[in-house]
A and B are shown apart, each in its own frame.
Chain A
Amino acid sequence: MATAGLHDSELGELQRRLIILRVGLLLVVALLALRLWHLQIREGPYYRDLSENNRTRSVIMEPARGLIYDRNGVLLANNVPSFTLYVSLEDVKNRELLIEQLTNLLGLDEALVRKKLTARGSKQLPRKVKDRLSLREATLIESHRLDLPGVMVQVESQRNYPGGVTASHLLGYVGEVSPEQLEKPEFADLHQGSIVGQYGVEKFFDRLVRGQAGQKSIEVDALGHEKRTVVVEQAHAGDNLYLTIDVRLQKVAENLLGEESGAIVALDPRTGDVLAMASRPGFDPNVLSRELTPKQWAEIVQNEGRPLNNRASQGQYPPGSVFKVMMAAAALESNTVTPSTTIHCNGGYQFGRRLYHDWKAGGHGSVDLRRALIQSCDVYFYTVGQRMGIETMASFAHMFGLGEETGIELPSERIGIVPSSAWKQKAKNEPWLPGETISASIGQGYVNVTPLQMASLIGTVANDGVTFRPRLVRAVMDRATGALEERPAVPKRTLKLRPEILPLIKEALAGVVTEGTATRAKSALVTIGGKTGTAQTTALSKEKRAEKDIPKKFRDHAWFVAFAPVDAPTIAVAVLGEHMGHGGSASAPLAKVLIETYVKLNLPAPAVVPDGAVVRDADAGGQDTR
């Protein structure tokens, strides 16, 4: 068997060489051990962190927005569950492929998806790609889950407005926080995809309604699939709002305007509570709160009816003869006239080379202040305005809250224009012309007001000179504690007028309805005082104006402001119908219907606790600031 004899010597050599293997083995193993020591001991904590990041994903839990109710606890805005599509960028292997897949699966706009996925921001936080997925879309995504690493479908609450178009301008709508908004400090705790109020009460009270986002730390596998939730930081729902509006009155107001453009505002003059605030045309906040394509958005913005414009607080119109209410008070207080001063009206007022017409050809004859208001005599007020001068007129207009914000809790309120020589110098860099005072004295020319300002003005008159800031939210309920915080009515200003002035004007305004220009507002149910206004929008000649077939856009704006009951007013109304013609014929009947509806509703004094909400203050129920 010993065949190895020839080279047995080599066996010995080989066996001696084993030392090379032994030393080499120990060296290499030592190297390996050193490397592993480096990885596991020296850099161990670093790699442990990496492995934690590998497996955990932060998922934001969007808070439920606070609910919004009307003054009687009728739900105006709530949240409904909906599917939202998120993409966790960390888990996306091939972004281009994913964009293509999502585009194909859901029929999304490719550019939009790309924008969402490539926008700057944290890579750790999942990106919201689409909300309001249909059930079909959600199941489609779920069934392709293995092919879509990093894609998650979350159930979230989606803002919902059960009333649809009702009170749309007031409630507003919500939308994703924009990149520009994110840079502002008040949105500092938000992130891309957060929902914030973008309009109306939703925007103004966003801080209260928004709530606080929670965070979920979930363990995922290498494909981004959720394995288990590791840590939960609960989301806190936003506060509930109880508005001052009565949705029944609101609907009536909106129906009264119907297809016309215009605004109706109803206030409680004793508190400033906004009982109704209608603006037509409106929009469906459910649609606006969805993600709109640029095309859909353009359609809304470019709509000639400007549905997104809240005409009540943002529409600016010449007040026309409604201005005479303020003028009457100014004339008496400034001693320009006394109640018994009479001025003869022959249908026109000659100033320089120009004749300023009265609305009534032939004139009203000799009128005192009371009759001038009842019949809306222009010549009387031309004369008064001329005597008073534009500066006095402007200072009284400011006293009545014109040319300034009413302070309503809505974004972007407009202030209108109270003209004066200083204003004209500043705005137009031109001197004031004396003839312009005459136009201004009947609420034409440069004078511009919002319907809300007019409602506030007539409310001030009705409330004997005390102005309340218009109030939209009468109580806020903290969702965490259940405590209901009543928000007090805020007196804004008290007119400094001699005490006999406002009663006299109120009596005259009652006369407007019983025997003057607004007999169409006369109600068998309740005594109403008011003032019509017919605001010219273009300088059409008298003859042209009389024609019935002039294009709608050249027709006059129809105003009517009113309060009721005359003795102890509880409601003040301003109606503006754009291009609806005469205030007395077009707007006064609308105000009458609204006021009668209000009377029939027989609202109790404010602050009925709705919906079983807990009242912190036991006797808060009767708080009524008069």
Chain B
Amino acid sequence: MIDRVINSRGFDNFDFRFIGLIFVILGVGVLSIYSVTHDQGVAFPFYAKQIVWILLGTVAFLVMWLSDYHRIARLAYPAYAIILVLLAVVLFEGKSSRGAQRWIPMGPFAFQPSEFAKLVLIVTLAHYYSKAPRVGWLQRVVLPGLLVLPGLLLILKQPDLGSGLSFLAVYAAMLLMVGMRSKALGVILLFSLMLFPFAWEMMWGSLHDYQRQRIMAFVDPAYDPGGKGYHALQSRIAIGAGELTGKGLYGGTQSQLKFLPEGHTDFVFSVFAEEWGFLGVLALLILFVTLIWLSLEIVARAKDQLGALLAVGIICMLCFCVVVNIGMTAGMFPIVGIPLPLMSYGGSATIMTMASLGLLLNVKRRRLSFF
């Protein structure tokens, strides 16, 4: 394996740009986290921890980059089984926070299986579709759906609406990219439309109070400025107050004075937007779009279906998280707990995202080593 790395062209210009982009975005994230938490007054503040996560994430990135993705794919089913077990463990042994039970305590830290579940699901689905030709809507849609279902249910049970939606998004994106005969697509659309009222009823009924409030807060953020709508409103105020050029580093009063909760995690984008303004936001969007554009290049040049599916799944997951996170901070979507990839504070999410990007780059590297 080592000689393959040496034999290949190794670290080329593409890799340099790709990895460079990742670390620029990571750096912007750390800066924003630093801005919010620099006066935290503890020995090991969030921005310092985040740097540790990034170092661990770099290790994960390298491992996923330099391994053979076919080998990784072969571990898909057992890995998925392990993740299901961990998700079940979370429900019973997990640490809860704000009404949700998502973490498995590990010493001073906590491990969030639902984050890793996303990557494992991508690998599993890619493995499933590439292993044999899947024909007919049973093989294309229903069987993988059954694969997704237990993980989805366990995640929704925590409840983690954000990760659940990511799960569904990954499944939908894979389906779309694998391609369906229009007849099957029609059937699915028809069924989902028919099932929608029931699904809505079931979903609304199974939602926790705070989730319903979040959805209500989305419909009318002003209805409870001190409650869940408070979050959405303060986030919009933070972003809007940034205006064209922003208030400057540490100048964001919304986050500095704690009007905006969760400024270092799910709402890090609002912090960034308040401090750097519309110009900063545009620059950040361009960074993300460029990263995804490069990733799409990898898919376009993927040598086999497995590689392409892996890359597409990862891209879709990243896109979904970026869009939904920014959309929710800007008040376009309800507040679902989806962190901003590479920027939000969080060990599991950072490591998982970097591992995903490592795997993505792996797909490109393999292509080179094969010819």
Q: Which residues of A contact B (CB under 8 A)?
A: 1-4, 6-8, 10-11, 13-15, 17-18, 20-22, 25-26, 28-29, 31-33, 35-37, 39-41, 43-48, 50-52, 54-55, 93-94, 219-223, 227
Bound form: Cα–Cα A43–B240 in Å: 7
Instruction: Tell me if A21 and B241 are in contact (CB < 8 A).
Output: no
Contacts A36-B273, A40-B243, A40-B277; A219 near B257 (Cβ below 8 A) = yes
Instruction: Tell me if B370 and A22 are in contact (CB < 8 A).
Output: no
Instruction: Tell me if B243 and A41 are in contact (CB < 8 A).
Output: yes
Bound form: Cα–Cα A31–B323 in Å: 10
Of chain B, the residue at the smallest CB distance from A93 is B226
Instruction: Tell me if A32 and B305 are in contact (CB < 8 A).
Output: no
Instruction: Tell me if B253 and A18 are in contact (CB < 8 A).
Output: no
Of chain B, the residue at the smallest CB distance from A4 is B304
Bound form: Cα–Cα A13–B305 in Å: 10
Nearest first, the 10 A-B pairs at minimum CB distance are: A47-B240, A44-B243, A51-B241, A4-B304, A221-B257, A222-B258, A40-B278, A39-B240, A222-B259, A7-B133
B99 at the A interface (CB under 8 A): no
Set of chain B residues within 8 Å of A221, measured between Cβ atoms: 257-259
B21 at the A interface (CB under 8 A): no
- Select B319's contact among A13, A25, A222, beta carbons within 8 Å: A25
Contacts A11-B308, A220-B257; A51 near B238 (Cβ below 8 A) = yes
Set of chain A residues within 8 Å of B133, measured between Cβ atoms: 6-7, 10
19 contacts between A and B (CB under 8 A): A3-B304, A4-B130, A7-B133, A10-B179, A14-B178, A17-B177, A25-B319, A26-B289, A35-B330, A35-B332, A39-B240, A39-B330, A40-B243, A47-B240, A48-B240, A50-B237, A50-B241, A51-B240, A227-B257
Interface residues in B42-85 (C-beta closer than 8 Å to A): 70
- Select B241's contact among A4, A32, A48, A220, beta carbons within 8 Å: A48
Set of chain B residues within 8 Å of A44, measured between Cβ atoms: 240-244, 278
Set of chain A residues within 8 Å of B370, measured between Cβ atoms: 1
Bound form: Cα–Cα A358–B296 in Å: 124
17 more contacts with CB within 8 A, not counting A18-B299, A36-B330, A40-B277, are: A6-B132, A7-B133, A10-B178, A14-B312, A21-B315, A25-B289, A31-B332, A32-B327, A33-B281, A39-B331, A40-B242, A40-B243, A44-B240, A47-B237, A51-B253, A51-B259, A222-B258
Set of chain B residues within 8 Å of A4, measured between Cβ atoms: 130, 304-306
Set of chain A residues within 8 Å of B226, measured between Cβ atoms: 93-94
Give the most central of A10, A39, A47: most B CB within 10 Å: A39
Of chain B, the residue at the smallest CB distance from A219 is B257
Set of chain A residues within 8 Å of B261, measured between Cβ atoms: 222
Bound form: Cα–Cα A36–B285 in Å: 11
Instruction: Tell me if A33 and B282 are in contact (CB < 8 A).
Output: yes
Of chain B, the residue at the smallest CB distance from A54 is B259
Contacts A15-B299, A44-B244, A51-B241; A32 near B326 (Cβ below 8 A) = yes
Set of chain B residues within 8 Å of A7, measured between Cβ atoms: 130, 133, 305
B239 at the A interface (CB under 8 A): yes
Instruction: Report how many residues on chain B are interfacial, defined by Cβ distance under 8 Å.
Output: 56
- Select B300's contact among A18, A40, A219, beta carbons within 8 Å: A18
- Select B304's contact among A11, A36, A227, beta carbons within 8 Å: A11
Residues 304-321 of B, flagged 1 when their CB comes within 8 A of A and 0 if not, give 111011001001100100
Set of chain B residues within 8 Å of A15, measured between Cβ atoms: 299-300, 302, 308
Set of chain A residues within 8 Å of B239, measured between Cβ atoms: 36, 39-40, 47
Instruction: Tell me if A32 and B323 are in contact (CB < 8 A).
Output: yes
Whole-angstrom distance between the Cβ of B67 and the nearest chain A Cβ: 15
Bound form: Cα–Cα A48–B242 in Å: 7
Set of chain B residues within 8 Å of A8, measured between Cβ atoms: 304-305
Instruction: Tell me if A55 and B308 are in contact (CB < 8 A).
Output: no
Instruction: Tell me if A29 and B332 are in contact (CB < 8 A).
Output: no
Instruction: Tell me if A37 and B257 are in contact (CB < 8 A).
Output: no
Instruction: Tell me if A14 and B305 are in contact (CB < 8 A).
Output: yes
Bound form: Cα–Cα A405–B1 in Å: 112
Bound form: Cα–Cα A8–B130 in Å: 10
Instruction: Tell me if B244 and A40 are in contact (CB < 8 A).
Output: yes
Bound form: Cα–Cα A90–B100 in Å: 30
Whole-angstrom distance between the Cβ of B258 and the nearest chain A Cβ: 4
- Select A55's contact among B259, B281, B330, beta carbons within 8 Å: B259
Whole-angstrom distance between the Cβ of A20 and the nearest chain B Cβ: 7
Give the most central of B130, B293, B305, B323: most A CB within 10 Å: B305
Instruction: Tell me if A32 and B296 are in contact (CB < 8 A).
Output: no
Of chain B, the residue at the smallest CB distance from A223 is B258
B254 at the A interface (CB under 8 A): yes
- Select A54's contact among B237, B316, B323, beta carbons within 8 Å: B237
Set of chain A residues within 8 Å of B274, measured between Cβ atoms: 51
- Select B289's contact among A29, A40, A54, beta carbons within 8 Å: A29
Set of chain A residues within 8 Å of B244, measured between Cβ atoms: 40-41, 44
Set of chain B residues within 8 Å of A220, measured between Cβ atoms: 257
Bound form: Cα–Cα A364–B282 in Å: 113
Set of chain B residues within 8 Å of A50, measured between Cβ atoms: 237, 240-241
Set of chain B residues within 8 Å of A36, measured between Cβ atoms: 239, 273, 278, 281, 326, 330
Of chain A, the residue at the smallest CB distance from B243 is A44
Instruction: Tell me if B296 and A21 are in contact (CB < 8 A).
Output: yes
B176 at the A interface (CB under 8 A): yes
Instruction: Tell me if B326 and A40 are in contact (CB < 8 A).
Output: no
B165 at the A interface (CB under 8 A): no
B141 at the A interface (CB under 8 A): no
Bound form: Cα–Cα A46–B300 in Å: 45
Whole-angstrom distance between the Cβ of A26 and the nearest chain B Cβ: 8
Contacts A6-B133, A21-B316, A44-B244; A37 near B300 (Cβ below 8 A) = no
